[in-house]
Amino acid sequence: MKILVAAKRVVDYNVKVRVRSDHSGVETANVKMSMNPFDEIAVEEAIRFKEAGHGDEVVVASIGPRQCEEVLRTALAMGADRGVLVRSDAALEPLAVARLLGVLAEREKSDLILLGKQAIDDDANQTGQMLAALLGWAQGTFACRLEAVQDGLRVTREIDGGLETLFMPLPAVVTADLRLNEPRYPKLPNIMKAKKKPLETLDGDSLGVDISPRLHTLRVSAPEPRKGGVRVTDVAELVDRLRNEAKVL
């Protein structure tokens, strides 16, 4: 089984996001960037699959500017075999990313594609589903458990009513949820070894994919600050405030 994993470079989850002064987006200049946490979980799951003997090779791909090499080196330090960077300085929407990943999957002859269920920058939760539809592959979204079984995969996914277990044949696309695993921390020897692992760079324009935007951002604004809590003296005052001020009763 050949596994392709998509990893996106996003603003680090510990950084407080600030809106640009012109309200065109969020500030990314001089801001710490890292691998999308859900994609990190997908990388960990692919490596575990290989370590268990279910995978032959783990290839991690990232789409974006040259700085995405940092994300790929992190994935290589975790245990991935190869990295592929698709260079593009354009602001890519989920459909464009899905199309580029589809070309990579066919180029790499992948059997399984793993990626996070969503990226923490746009929270779109669309790329995995679009990718599966474009390729015509089976898909398992929000996976919290993944098992290799004869002739396919058994995917346990979280739904509103609890858990749902599905069987799907390969090839397939699976998106990782938060509870799928706990990603490992790369050790220093592996970080040094990652510098020598192959990392291929492709020009996004050379793949023949239409990445033109379908959406136009009108304005990005920060949410209104939350109001402080109010202490009430008794239940009667609470009910009065809920009825007359909050208008929820």
Domain ranges for the chain, please list them: 2-222
Question: Which has the higher per-residue pLDDT, 32 or 151?
Answer: 32
Q: Is pLDDT above 90 for 60?
A: yes
16, 149 Cβ separation under 8 angstroms: no
18, two tokens: 């600030």
What's the whole-model pTM score? 0.87
4 by Cβ neighbours in 10 Å (0-12 / 13-18 / 19+) ranks as buried
Assigned CATH class of 2-222: alpha beta
Alpha helices by DSSP H, 126-234: 127-135, 188-194
d(CA 105, CA 3): 9
- 2-15 average pLDDT score: 94
Q: Is pLDDT above 90 for 127?
A: yes
d(CA 193, CA 187): 10
pLDDT tens digit sequence for 63-119 = 999 999 999 999 999 999 999 999 998 889 999 999 999 999 999 999 999 999 999
Tell me what pLDDT residue 230 has: 83
Q: Which residues contact 223 (CB under 8 A, 6 or more apart)?
A: none
d(CA 3, CA 203): 22
